[in-house]
A and B are shown apart, each in its own frame.
Chain A
Amino acid sequence: MTKEQRLKKRHSAERRFRFYGIASICVALLFVLILVNNIFSKGSSAFMKTVIDVEVFYDPELIEIENGASEENIREADFYDITIETLLKSYPAKNLDEENELIDLFTTDAEIEIKKAFLENNNLIGKKINLEITSSDDIDQLHKGNYPRDLPEDRRRISNFQLKIYDTLVENNKINKNFNNYYFNNGDSRDPELAGIGGALVGSFYSIIICLLLAFPVAVLASIYLEEFAPKNKITDFIEININNLAAVPSIVYGLLALQILLATIQLPRSTPLVAGITLALMTLPRIIIPCRASLKAVPPSIREGALAVGASKFQSVFHHVVPLSLPGTLSGTIIGLAQALGETAPLILIGMVAFVVDIPSTPIDPSSSLPVQVYLWSESAERGFVEKTSATIMMLLSFLIVMNFIAVYLRQKFEKRWN
């Protein structure tokens, strides 16, 4: 082979390699794009809700309370009659069937919304106000264009009469889209238009905080001890191998462990962030120890020697120099570990976090859900409204993960010292 031929061959090999590289990146990007596009197109509409403009008359005859009644009294009072009255006024219905169908256009929480408006304004008795009542899930989906209206009537959940009302309301500009505060503030619900991730968010938050509080100090101390102080012998080698193994153990195994020990033996309350936090901490521990030890290892021995040579003790050299220098790596490892824990579903399902929980947990020992489990739950539900909620929740989860990873990268780049 001549020199030119060899050169040509080498060049074409390099070109081929570059092509393969770029091609595989493109394929990966394509899948990410498809995924993101799919989630976004399905999920983004969940952040809006459909509302119907109605006029509420707080009729003193229908209302059971006096002007200036205490808040407590109002909360206990019955607004049912006013609500029915209001909803029926929004469109003329001829018979009881039609009236029922008309009321079905609104959310089951219409009474609560009317009561809330009453609470927020003083002295509404005998007055009329315009209020935007959340529509039912079917109307919501219809308005967002997710509902096929050209099906025969017997195969649709929306009757012809309801469609007629909807069209009239649209014509009169009575139907609008508003920011969906329920999605963020509410707990789970059987009614898609009322279901929200509030409970899951708080549950996840508690779980992660507990996980952090348990896993971080233990992991950091364990890695400092193993890396800096422990004698290098068979036992520590064995521990090292097992930590690496633990990091690779499927998360569901931790769920089983928690089920057996935390729930069955210790009898901690089921479905709670406390148990979730402990379980996730167990799972995250080796995943933090590994990057933590790596960043301790990355501190050059010359720094340790430098400290020892001026007469620092082993302890001082580690805690004055090595640990501060390894902190950026440690923190970013921790955050990435927590991000993984945040997305973990399987062990939480085992410890009963799949339970249907409406109330937003106020303490870590209240039953609760968590974001990934909520995704799992909603993806199982039949109603169309839950499809967009599933995607929206995935979006939320992804954005938390992205933010956490970004913080990790930022910490590392900002504070990592460069060794000459």
Chain B
Amino acid sequence: MSNEHTVKSYEEELQFLVDSVIKMGSLTESQMVDSMDAIIKVDKDSIDKIIKSDDEINKFRSKIDTQIMTLLVKRAPMAIDLRETISSLKISQDLERIGDLSKSNAKKVKPLPLDLPEELLSNLKRLGELVIKQLNDVLDSYVNKNYDKAKEVWKKDEQVDDLTYIAMESVIDFLSKDKKNLDFSTHLIFATKNLERAGDHITNIAESICYLIKGEYLKGSRPKGKVIQE
């Protein structure tokens, strides 16, 4: 028994949809990498480029929406196909939100002074790297339909939460040293918070992938870091 649809074009349409989501994912990933780079290096020149790339992500999102609607109307997908369709809807939504967060982070770079102390940014950098890794992993698990890897990502969100907490602490420490820092510290706090939110969206994506593969939601509530628990 082949795994192909009897209707060839149906198969192609589904594959096309998945490809679109994957492309959107890699776009979002590189945007996040760029925006992290911009923050760490306080590179104000790349801001415009990052904002522009978000437009592209948004366009991808609406394209995927249309594809999904056409597919629903035309094929009335069932079972695995239905889950594939619905999860691409949800994943593309999360990706778009992640894109928005990266864009917002990029905007935070503008008011930052060029001479930020190294220790202030180090934790933020670690957090960024972790989130990027998470995003990369979750996209990987989507491409390879790897349940275990997705679940791994889902579990590792705990670390994101913890790192967020640490990064926040260091910013607040810095802030408490000198009230003059208030101006850009707030921006850094927001950027940290954005990364944590992006992590949440990545967890959502991981959940979607797990549902897509097994047809059931992950049991139990997601492990949460200290920041959320407060």
| A–B in direct contact per CB < 8 Å | no
Residue numbers of B with Cβ under 8 A of A are none
